[in-house]
Structure 1
Amino acid sequence: MSFVTCDLCDDNADIVSVVTGFNWFSFGGRSAFGGEIVTVKCFEDNSQVKAHLGTDGKGKVLVVDGGGSLRNALIGDMIAENAVKNGWEGVIIYGACRDVDALGTLDLGVVTLGCVPIKSVRRDEGQLNIDIHFGGVTFRPGEYVYADNNGIITAPKALL
């Protein structure tokens, strides 16, 4: 998938929304990725992140509302490797990741607010496929998200 979010914004200014207010970091091996939105809302518990990335993700991006916490990583190398095996395009986490050197070797987009070496707690908590909101944007399951080094945008329909 080859695109630049700047061009997608220029060509679709009437329908795109731009995530603002944060400095995002790209840790995955893919610097540009996009696809259909699948959501998880959780706080310092990656049980549902792990479960979702263990399913078929062809053409999809998991968007995680981790409450902006940088205290516990919601994805690391093992979960990310599983996401690659299951065909996910990428993961966007309003929270933290870990194992950043390993993440950079994987064919997966991983964009987060930062990294921390502390693993997630596991309480089997979290909500799946609900509307989530951060960065001035509502992420709706079934809509589309695109991310690259310029930023993150959403659209109600596929742009590519």
Structure 2
Amino acid sequence: MSATATADLYDERREAVQTTPLQFISVGGHVRFDGPIRTVACFEDNALLKATLGTPGGGAVLVVDGGGSLGTALVGDIIGGLAVENGWAGIVVHGAIRDRVALGGLSIGILALGTNPRGGAKSGEGELDATLEFGDVVFRPGAHLWADEDGILVER
């Protein structure tokens, strides 16, 4: 976990980092987290996301582009638990989560746009480790991401 606040990192690095105006809510047990980015693009289908978090994370942050949909949750307590068991530092969901109270008890950072009790589809559609763009930020696999109470920073 990063001990340095994103505001201080921004002041130090300015043009070397990107920040998003999207207002994510913190739902995981860790408010501050950071790590190299891995990505999954999936719309209302969380099978690929679950499979990815079931592999060793090595302290990485999984950035999930769910198209900003709040229609179905992409991460819940089972998937969040997999991420903890496999050493992921955090998950950023451009979409919804569910099981918010249970996720809050997990030792991981999780940010999302909102919540919805409806679970995602399980067809496995999506794309792994692609460069994603949402909220005025480009999320490249391998780039570093920092998150805390003030928001998200991503290295350019």
Q: Percent identity?
A: 47
Distance 1:94 1:136 in 2: 12
Matches within 5 A, 1:79-94: 79-94=79-94
Alpha-carbon distance, 1:36 to partner: 0.3
Once the two structures are superposed, residues 72-123 of structure 1 have per-residue CA deviations (whole angstroms, 9 ceiling, x without a partner) of 0000001101100000000001000000000000001010000000001111
Equivalent position of 1:68 in the other structure: 68
Alpha-carbon contact 2:23-2:151 (below 8 Å) kept: no
Cα root mean square deviation, aligned: 0.8
TM-score (norm 1): 0.95
Task: Tell me the matched-pair count.
Answer: 155
Q: Could you say what secondary structure the match of 1:59 adopts? A: coil
Alpha-carbon distance, 1:14 to partner: 2.5
Matches within 5 A, 1:108-119: 108-119=108-119
- Does residue 16 of structure 1 match 2:17? yes
Q: Larger deviation: 25-34 or 6-15?
A: 6-15
Distance 2:29 2:137 in 1: 25
Q: Could you say what secondary structure the match of 2:31 adopts? A: coil
Distance 1:138 1:14 in 2: 14
Equivalent position of 1:151 in the other structure: 151
Instruction: Identify unmatched segments of 5+ residues in structure 2.
Output: none
Distance 2:113 2:87 in 1: 23
Distance 2:101 2:59 in 1: 25
Alpha-carbon distance, 1:64 to partner: 0.5
1:41 partner amino acid = A
User: Which segments of structure 1 move beyond 4 Å, counting only runs of 4 or more?
Assistant: none
Matches within 5 A, 1:131-146: 131-146=131-146
TM-score (norm 2): 0.97
Equivalent position of 1:7 in the other structure: 8
Distance 1:51 1:14 in 2: 35
Instruction: Identify unmatched segments of 5+ residues in structure 1.
Output: none
2:155 partner amino acid = A
Alpha-carbon distance, 1:3 to partner: 2.1
Q: Could you say what secondary structure the match of 1:48 adopts? A: helix
